[in-house]
Amino acid sequence: MTDQRSLRQEAVAHLEAVRRNGFTIIPDVLTPAEVQRYRASVERLYATDPGVVAKRQDACDLFHVENLVSKAKLFENFFLNDRVYPIVIQLVGEDCVLKDVWSLGLPPGGGVSGKSGKVFGSLHIEDPYPLGSPVLSVITSYPLVDFTADNGSTRVVPGSHLWGRLPTAERPESEIGVDVRAGDCLMFVGSLWHATGVNQTQQIRSSMAACFGVPWVKPFFDFTRTLPQEFVDRLSDEQRRLFGFLSQPPYVERWRWDAERGCPRE
Ligand SMILES: O=C(O)CCC(=O)C(=O)O
């Protein structure tokens, strides 16, 4: 069997799992060396990023790095992993955009949201409406330490992406914790009921993630106005689309607008 063929078969199995359960785990997408490099960098950001510091009030608050992609060259591409991204495209469409790219650290003893305004520990969905179909968004989460019941593995309610309703404070009996190893990718659709667990260990539960969505739902973040210019200058056409340059409305009259590049004509 060729590598391409086995990759296609792997992708089909993951697609089926996501459509049925709302989530899947794609094993070993990062090498141990990559995991160590990413982990060291995100944990440095937990201590130094002004946004993380501004949002935390006490030791139990999350380390939440927003706009991770602009923090270092190291983070520019991890979400385009060639065993993950093709599955995303199948689910959300070839015109999908990045809604956000971030890192989440669950601190020892907790994992509440601090001043970020988002309650990660309660069951929630990423989409504005709880639609089972079409898929509006897909989250790809890359644990940088093993996620276990002890350190607060991600909680999900299998099949809830098809229920067409929002979670309430009541936690369904079918809720489970998903143990995922460092280097794997946990993928779930944005309509799946999910939450962070509680970290009862002494080590930060570090991860990085990207959310992809359809271009006609407002993303969480406007990358067109926040990416460093030297990165924008290097973007491929596909990256320009992913970062939303092609889905923004023209901000000059149409005769001056380059729809192919999502910017005014030279
Ligand atoms: O990292 C996790 O365990 C879940 C993260 C989450 O709830 C989210 O990204 O909305």
Query: DSSP characters for 79-90?
Result: GG-TTTHHHHHH
Q: Pocket of ligand 1, candidates 100, 196, 198, 207: which has the most ligand atoms within 8 Å of its Cβ, to mutate? A: 196
Please give all residues whose beta carbon lies within 6 A of any atom in ligand 1, as ranges. Answer: 104, 120, 126, 139, 141, 154, 194-196, 207, 209
Spacing, Cα 250 to ligand 1 middle (Å): 33
| pLDDT at position 38 over 90 | yes
Tell me which amino acid residue 217 is: V
Among the listed residues 122, 195, 208, the one whose alpha carbon sits nearest the alpha carbon of residue 155: 195
| pLDDT at position 116 over 60 | no
Spacing, Cα 221 to ligand 1 middle (Å): 17
Spacing, Cα 255 to ligand 1 middle (Å): 43
Confidence of residue 113 (pLDDT cuts 50, 70, 90): low
Confidence of residue 109 (pLDDT cuts 50, 70, 90): confident
| pLDDT at position 203 over 60 | yes
Token look-up 């962070």 returns 196
CA distance 89 to 40: 30
Residue 44, classed as helix, strand or coil, is: helix
Bridge partners of 210?
101, 140
Confidence of residue 133 (pLDDT cuts 50, 70, 90): confident
Instruction: Provide the 8-state DSSP code for 265.
Output: -
Q: Which atom of ligand 1 is nearest to the CA of 147?
A: 3
Q: What is the pLDDT at residue 59?
A: 85
Tell me which amino acid residue 44 is: R
**Total-model pTM:** 0.94
Confidence of residue 3 (pLDDT cuts 50, 70, 90): confident
Cβ atoms 221, 99 nearer than 8 A? yes
Q: Which atom of ligand 1 is nearest to the CA of 118?
A: 10
Q: Pocket of ligand 1, candidates 63, 104, 142: which has the most ligand atoms within 8 Å of its Cβ, to mutate? A: 104
